[in-house]
């Protein structure tokens, strides 16, 4: 034995002695051994492992079956080496041996890490059992990457996830380790809120394919290159959803073009006849199967118009940008677009809206109550609702307002908060406990609630309230707007409430409650009701019939009383009976107003009426007028 070998052997012996002492201290501190008698059998397994593998990494060269055949006491020591980051754990061993590293780590080696993880996880409303399973997965990640918690990166998480996926398949357990994927996804969420990972992980999408796979039907490389270049350009200034719509329209057209005109290899070769053929294709092609779509259904005119609009935008943009691959002349014109229908908004009537709200208020689920109340009382869009952040509730004076974030129209706005909604939001704040002003308010396990869950909540509550037709969150927005305009709210106020960019978007609701048509219809209906309610008219010799004048019918009297307006100088006051008005005494407060003692009885009655209604300002106005008219003593 050479001197170098002797030195190496001495160093190895010294390392083993120190490692055994550390392992013995760990066993005592973790509660595995309380005395020397109970400690010695466990240390025997460690000594046996070190005799077989003086250099620890020699164990890694063993085949997996041999790694799994070691004595149980030796495996305990092996797991200690994993957690001490003295030996990396392979994904294959973790899948097959199933060591409970989480339980081992939290007893001593990672006790503080476990406490921090549980604290954040409970705040995100994970159960204790789920958090324990997640921490086991986290301990496996640290053993695999040989890193401490604060050193972990997204790359480490991805590498371990991929390794587990491969090991799971090789072990013959199937093609999808759902347990591991679910727990690792939760680990990423908690680590993000702990500040370890920089961003939240996205859920795995089934059937996710690359751009090359999606455009496989377009054989021309030149066409694909130009289309992709265009999509990359508009992605810099347009929303992701808009880019997806444009890509879908371009892929639809160029895939059809490759099948119907395979000789076209460049965009500059596209001619008008190809556009006309594509229009015929849109008219005759069947839709993809869907839950709410009958078999063989054709594309809606709006879908065809959107596809042609995206295609025309593509040709116009690449022409304006001066690209080489452009058609020699314009190909799509206004007359190519199908006539789009302009249906009125679908809304719930008052009885349905009341039933929906009562059902939501009776729900034991807090999110259901908050969701339906807020959508029905504020008119928020579904995306605006899910994008609300923790700092969106603003107090201005004694009133509370909701700042709606930038959404569909790239603008934000403030809308007043109903006291019931404010109370529910306070309850939700106490439940979720957001940590930062920019955190999303509506979250589940630390992640923003998806728009699909909002759809499910509204549909479920509508079904429970007895509404048979489908109810979407946007229908609640239409319901609020219709209720507001039917009760006299101005179009400008409705536009501000709903966040419309122009009154043109709001005028659609005016068609639901056209007051001019309503007023004139009731006037004509009153005369017609007199006609229909009359007995057989008298017939004179000359053949003419006469209809005696009668009083209005009971139905029309009720309608007239419900819709009777007070005429003003330039319009009508639609205030219902019993509703107070802040401007009832506007004339009495004017410098041009003049009254005399002849009106004292009327002024007294007006003061008594104001006092009975608790309108202190009106009481003071009439009191001063009466005092000015009464003779001095």
Check pLDDT > 90 for residue 366. Answer: yes
Query: Over 70: is that where the pLDDT of 16 sits?
Result: yes
Q: Helix, strand or coil for residue 319? A: helix
* 144 and 96 assigned to the same domain: yes
Choose among 381, 437, 453: nearest CA to 412.
Answer: 381
Are 166 and 91 in contact by the 8 Å Cβ rule? The answer is yes
Beta bridge partners of 399: 396
User: 243 and 286, same structural domain?
Assistant: yes
Give residue 566's pLDDT band: very low, low, confident or very high (50, 70, 90): low
First to last CA, the chain: 133
Cα–Cα distance for residue pair 310/331, rounded to 1 Å: 13
562 pLDDT exceeds 80? no
Rounded mean pLDDT of 187-202?
89
Which tens digit of pLDDT belongs to each residue from 525-552?
A: 777 777 676 665 555 455 555 444 444 4
DSSP 195: T
Please tell me the distance from the alpha carbon of residue 552 to that of residue 555, in angstroms, as a whole number.
Answer: 8
Query: Do residue 184 and residue 106 come from a single domain?
Result: yes
Share of the chain above pLDDT 70, in %: 83
Is the pLDDT at 467 greater than 80? The verdict is: yes
Query: Can you read off the two tokens belonging to residue 576?
Result: 């219902």
CB-count exposure of residue 594 (10 Å: 0-12, 13-18, 19+): exposed
484 & 528 share domain: no
Average pLDDT over residues 445-453: 89
Number of domains in the chain: 5
In this prediction, residues 430-458 reach a mean pLDDT of: 89
Whether 187 shows a pLDDT value over 80: the answer reads: yes
67 lies in the same domain as 102: yes
Q: Does 584 lie in the same domain as 568? A: no
User: What distance in Å separates the CA atoms of residue 620 and residue 75, rounded to the nearest whole number?
Assistant: 90
CATH of residue 425's domain is 1.10.443.10
Radius of gyration (C-alpha) of the chain in whole angstroms: 38
Same domain, 89 and 135: yes
The closest of 162, 146, 58, 170 to 66, measured between CA atoms, is 58
Angle at 243 between CA 240 and CA 244, to 5 degrees: 90
The predicted structure's pLDDT at residue 83: 92
pLDDT at residue 94 in the model:
93
- Look at the pTM and tell me if it is higher than 0.75: no
41 lies in the same domain as 178: yes
Same domain, 312 and 370: no
Residue 421 · residue 378 · CB < 8 Å: yes
Q: What percent of the chain has pLDDT over 90?
A: 39
pLDDT band with cut points at 50, 70 and 90 for residue 272: very high
The neighbour count for residue 478, using CB atoms within 10 Å, is: 20
Give the model confidence (pLDDT) of 330-339 as tens digits: 999 988 888 7
Residue 5 lies in a domain: no
The answer to whether position 632 is within a domain reads yes
pLDDT grade, residue 589 (50/70/90)? low
Last residue of a domain, one of 336, 367, 397: 336
Highest-confidence segment of 478-482, 501-505, 543-547: 478-482
| Last-in-domain residue among 143, 161, 193 | 193
Locate 98 and state its tokens.
């199933």
HEC letters along 9-32: HHHHHHHHHHHHHHHHHHHHHHCC
pLDDT for 550: 43
CA distances from 410 to 238, 414, 501 (A): 11, 14, 10
Residue 483 placed within a domain? yes
Assign 554 a pLDDT band (cuts: 50, 70, 90): low
Q: Is pLDDT of 381 > 80?
A: yes
How many Å apart are CA 421 and CA 427, to the nearest integer?
10
Cα–Cα distance measured from residue 227 to residue 171, given in angstroms and rounded to the nearest whole number: 43
Query: Mean pLDDT, to the nearest integer, of 202-208?
Result: 56
Task: Based on the fold, state whether residues 320 and 365 are members of the same structural domain.
Answer: no
Cα gap 338→560, rounded to integer Å: 43
- Spatial distance between the Cα atoms of 451 and 442, rounded to a whole number of angstroms: 11
Question: Taking the alpha carbons of 265, 269, 273, 276 in that order, is the dihedral positive or negative?
Answer: positive
Q: Answer yes or no: is 204 within a domain.
A: no
The C-alpha atoms of residue 357 and residue 376 are separated, in whole angstroms, by: 8
Could you list the residue range(s) of the whole structural domain that residue 525 is in?
518-534+545-573
Average pLDDT over the chain, rounded to an integer:
83
User: Could you say which of 193, 220, 247 is where a domain stops?
Assistant: 193
Q: Within this chain, do residues 499 and 390 fall inside the same structural domain, yes or no?
A: yes
In this structure, the answer to whether residues 172 and 263 fall within a common structural domain is no
Q: Is residue 345 part of a domain?
A: no
Among 370-374, 485-489, 518-522, the minimum mean pLDDT is found in: 518-522
Cβ atoms < 10 Å from Cβ of 256: 18
3-state SS, residue 403: strand
29-79 pLDDT, tens per residue? 888 776 656 677 778 888 889 888 988 889 999 999 988 888 888 888 999
Question: What mean pLDDT comes out for the span 392-421?
Answer: 84
Residue 30 and residue 108 in contact, taking contact as beta carbons nearer than 8 Å:
yes
Average of per-residue pLDDT across 430-442: 88
Has residue 250 got a pLDDT over 70?
yes
Report the pLDDT averaged over residues 580-600. 72
Q: Which of 299-303, 339-343, 484-488, 567-571 has the lowest mean pLDDT?
A: 567-571
Instruction: State residue 409's pLDDT score.
Output: 63
pLDDT given for residue 408 in this prediction: 65
Query: Which of these ranges, 115-124, 362-371, 458-467, 619-628, has the smallest mean pLDDT?
Result: 619-628
SS3 label, residue 201: coil
Alpha helices, DSSP H only, in 362-444?
Answer: 366-378, 382-386, 419-432
Is 32 within the bounds of a domain?
yes
Residue 255 has pLDDT above 70, yes or no: yes
Q: 487 Cβ partners below 8 Å, 6+ apart? A: none
Confidence of residue 581 (pLDDT cuts 50, 70, 90): low
Rounded Cα distance between 435 and 402, Å, is 19
| Four-residue CA torsion sign, 524, 525, 526, 529 | positive
Domain for residue 373, yes or no? Answer: yes
Question: Is residue 364, in this structure, part of any structural domain at all?
Answer: yes
Please state, in angstroms and rounded to a whole number, the distance separating the CA atoms of residues 625 and 633.
Answer: 17
């Amino acid at each position: 034995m050479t001197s170098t070998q002797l030195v190496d052997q001495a160093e190895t012996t010294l390392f083993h002695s120190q490692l055994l002492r550390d392992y013995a201290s760990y066993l005592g501190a973790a509660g595995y051994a309380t005395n020397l008698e109970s400690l010695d059998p466990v240390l025997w397994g460690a000594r046996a492992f070190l005799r077989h593998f003086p250099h620890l990494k020699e164990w890694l060269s063993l085949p997996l079956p041999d790694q799994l055949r070691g004595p149980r006491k030796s495996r305990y020591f092996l797991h200690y080496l994993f957690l001490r980051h003295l030996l990396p754990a392979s994904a294959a061993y973790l899948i097959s041996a199933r060591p409970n590293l989480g339980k081992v780590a939290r007893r001593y080696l990672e006790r503080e890490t476990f406490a921090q993880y549980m604290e954040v996880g409970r705040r995100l409303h994970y159960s204790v059992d789920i958090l324990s399973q997640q921490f086991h997965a986290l301990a496996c990640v640290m053993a695999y990457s040989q890193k401490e918690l604060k050193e972990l990166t997204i790359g480490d998480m991805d590498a371990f996830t991929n390794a587990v996926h491969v090991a799971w398949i090789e072990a013959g357990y199937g093609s999808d380790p759902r347990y591991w994927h679910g727990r690792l996804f939760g680990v990423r969420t908690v680590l993000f809120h702990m500040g370890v990972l920089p961003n939240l992980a996205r859920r795995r999408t089934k059937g996710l394919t690359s751009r090359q796979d999606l455009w496989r039907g377009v054989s021309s490389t030149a066409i694909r290159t130009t289309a992709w270049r265009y999509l990359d350009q508009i992605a810099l200034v347009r929303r992701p959803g808009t880019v997806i719509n444009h890509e879908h329209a371009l892929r639809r057209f160029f895939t059809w073009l490759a099948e119907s005109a395979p000789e076209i290899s460049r965009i500059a070769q596209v001619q008008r006849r190809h556009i006309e053929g594509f229009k015929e294709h849109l008219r005759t092609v069947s839709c993809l199967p869907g839950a709410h779509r009958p078999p063989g259904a054709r594309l809606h005119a709006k879908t065809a118009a959107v596809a042609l609009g995206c295609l025309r935008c593509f040709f116009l943009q690449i022409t304006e940008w001066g690209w080489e691959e452009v058609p020699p002349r314009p190909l799509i014109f206004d007359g190519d677009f199908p006539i789009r229908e302009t249906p009125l908004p679908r809304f719930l009537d008052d009885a349905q809206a009341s039933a929906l709200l009562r059902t939501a208020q009776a729900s034991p689920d807090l999110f259901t109550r908050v969701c339906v109340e807020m959508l029905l009382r504020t008119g928020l869009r579904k995306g605006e609702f899910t994008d609300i952040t923790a700092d969106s509730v603003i107090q201005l004076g004694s009133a509370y307002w909701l700042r709606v974030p930038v959404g569909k129209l790239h603008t934000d706005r403030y809308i007043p908060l109903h006291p019931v909604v404010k109370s529910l939001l306070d309850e939700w704040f106490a439940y979720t406990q957001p940590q930062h002003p920019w955190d999303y308010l509506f979250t589940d396990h630390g992640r923003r609630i998806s728009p699909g869950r909002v759809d499910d909540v509204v549909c479920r509550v509508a079904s429970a309230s007895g509404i048979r037709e489908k109810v979407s969150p946007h229908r609640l927005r239409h319901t609020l707007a219709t209720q507001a305009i039917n009760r006299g709210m101005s179009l400008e106020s409705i536009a501000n409430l709903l966040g419309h960019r122009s009154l043109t978007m709001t005028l659609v609701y005016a068609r639901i409650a056209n007051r001019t048509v309503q007023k004139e219809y009731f006037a004509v209906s009153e005369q017609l009701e007199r006609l229909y309610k009359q007995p057989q008219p008298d017939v004179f010799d000359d053949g003419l019939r006469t209809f005696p004048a009668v009083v209005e019918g009971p139905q029309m009297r009720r309608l007239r009383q419900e819709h009777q307006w007070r005429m003003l100088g330039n319009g009508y006051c639609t205030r219902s009976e019993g509703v107070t008005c802040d401007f009832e005494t506007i004339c009495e407060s004017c410098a041009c107003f003049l009254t005399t003692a002849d009106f004292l009885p009327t002024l007294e009655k007006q003061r008594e009426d104001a006092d009975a209604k608790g309108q202190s300002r009106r009481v003071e106005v009439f009191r001063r007028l009466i005092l000015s008219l009464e003779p001095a003593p």
